[in-house]
Amino acid sequence: MAENVSGKKLIGKTVYNGITMGKVLVLRGSQEQVRRTKITDAEQEIERVHGAVANAQQQLGALYDKAVKEVGESSAAIFEVHQMMLEDDDYLDAIYHVIRTEMVNAEYAVAITGDNFADMFAGMDDEYMQARAADVKDISARLIRNLSGQGGVDFSSMEPSIIVADDLSPSETVQMDKEKILAFVTVHGSTNSHTAILARMMNIPALIGVPVDLDEVYTGMTAIVDGAAGEVIFEPTVVQCNEAEEKIRNDKEKLRLLQELKGKKNETSDGRRIDIYANIGSVSDVGYVLENDAGGIGLFRSEFLYLGRDNFPTEEEQFQAYKQVVQTMGKKKVIIRTLDIGADKQADYFELGKEDNPAMGYRAIRICLKQPDIFKTQLRALLRAAAYGNLSIMYPMIISAEEVKQIKAIVAEVEQELKQNEIPYRIPEQGIMIETPAAVMVSDELAQLADFFSIGTNDLTQYTLAIDRQNQRLEDFYNPHHKAILRMIQMVVDNAHKCGKWVGICGELGADTALTETFVNMGVDELSVAPPMVLKVREKVRAM
């Protein structure tokens, strides 16, 4: 068994750096085979189902409460629906029927019933209902886990652990105590996955695409995860442990030195300054912003309000979320980017349809200008929240001055409505994202209309170099430091400064410490980076 993996290095793709050593917690999928065994006492078996259902109700109730706090009521509702599904007599009667007529074990009866109900939904000519098949499978899997005693992963008493799994779903990660996750190691998953985003935010090592056989590892064994090297070692040898411990000590020392930079200025030795803000994607991330001493929020992705649900968020819901963030941040600036849905971020209820080239498709501001009702709801919420703190708005995917004029006209309409209804509001600072080569080329005109620029280097790089970042065959051609990109940034900075406007960078390049000095020299005013990178960039600036 475990001898096969002992001490062997397994290589995966790094999602986030850092090194850790600790106990493994293996999460297994629900695809495990359910055995069919003959029983003699059907009523006793049915009694077991009752017990499993009661446990499941309790688990789902706890999950619901936790999710309400962390991701909000609308995303949590799914757990309430699961509870109702478990109360459904048709479902339960079908399970009892299988047990009584076939005299088989409860696990098997649940598995068969779950499959039948899932097939019913999968067979409906409605995409939404087809997707409900997954919910049926989910509740059936939960019952089976409870029945077979595998429900054993009680996250409430979880020890600090390295999470090893095939892949992780948000419903799994939401259950975990974030303080107790040492690292993520998954067999599948992508660098854009929920797990990856979580790892970056929490500053813990994460590897995906690790070729680990989940049958050969078990909960409680020791492992080392080295994000920088992209490797994981199960049951390491003494020598490997010593090496890892030394690296961990070094990391801790670096971290300690970084902590000393809290409260210090982002200033070079010759007195030049730059603002360092943080990028976040949900209200609960604000804690990481403050913890890492960021000067503000340079990019708040508002998509979190729209994704993972089945209808549009209301104005009130949005207003409350924005207000909470600006109030928590006090006087510090919070730049909220309007809806950037489309491309790789999809929500079914937008009914966007499939596109051959989504990165160049109907997305972001294009949706907002074509469907102004969606846009206005968000703008009303933003203008209202602006009355409560230092909020700024930024518009994504701009290619022309005409678009900015159209946006301004819509903002004026919204303002008029608010004024008429005597609702408190404030017109905040409004900037635009520079993420298309077109916006760079007309940045002189745009600078007269916008209050600030924020350069989104991920899209700008992909559009300028004509390289799809998801295409691994192009990796050799991809150079994030390409001269074309750096010249574009300089051009944008110069055009903005001519009009007295400021410029930030909020793409991945902003956190690239190999370029920090270049950016300061170019005159970039602000860098917005993942929260754990704030102090690292500050260190770089202060060393100049």
In the complex, the residues that contact other proteins under the rule CB under 8 A are: 77-78, 80-81, 84-85, 87-91, 117, 120-121, 124-126, 128-129, 132, 135-136, 310-311, 349
Closest contact distance (angstroms) between CB of 466 and other proteins is 38
- In what order do the strands lie in the sheet containing 161-165? 9-11, 231-234, 222-226, 19-27, 161-165, 181-186, 206-208, 13-16
Is there a catalytic annotation at residue 241?
Answer: no
What does the alpha-carbon distance between residue 25 and residue 194 come to, in Å, rounded to a whole number? 19
**Alpha-carbon distances, residue 343 vs 26, 471, 507 (angstroms):** 33, 15, 17
Residue by residue, DSSP assigns 3-39 as GGTBT-EEE-EEEE--EEEEEEEEE--TTSPPPP-B-
Closest contact distance (angstroms) between CB of 195 and other proteins is 25
Closest contact distance (angstroms) between CB of 380 and other proteins is 21
Tokens representing 322? 């924005």
**Residue in 194, 241, 482, 499 annotated catalytic:** 194
What does the alpha-carbon distance between residue 198 and residue 170 come to, in Å, rounded to a whole number? 10
**Residue in 50, 482, 499, 506 annotated catalytic:** 506
Residue placing its CB nearer to other proteins in the complex, 126 or 422: 126
| Start-to-end CA span in the chain (Å) | 53
Residue placing its CB nearer to other proteins in the complex, 125 or 475: 125
Residue placing its CB nearer to other proteins in the complex, 89 or 179: 89
Closest contact distance (angstroms) between CB of 348 and other proteins is 9
| 397 Rama sector, left if φ>0, alpha if ψ -120 to 50, beta otherwise | left
∠128-190-220 over CA atoms, to 5°? 105
Residue placing its CB nearer to other proteins in the complex, 50 or 419: 50
- At which residue do the structure tokens 């899209």 appear? 459
Cβ pair 527, 534 in contact under 8 A = no
Closest contact distance (angstroms) between CB of 92 and other proteins is 10
Residue placing its CB nearer to other proteins in the complex, 27 or 133: 133
Residue placing its CB nearer to other proteins in the complex, 349 or 477: 349
Is there a catalytic annotation at residue 194?
Answer: yes
Closest contact distance (angstroms) between CB of 319 and other proteins is 21
Please identify every residue annotated as catalytic. 194, 506
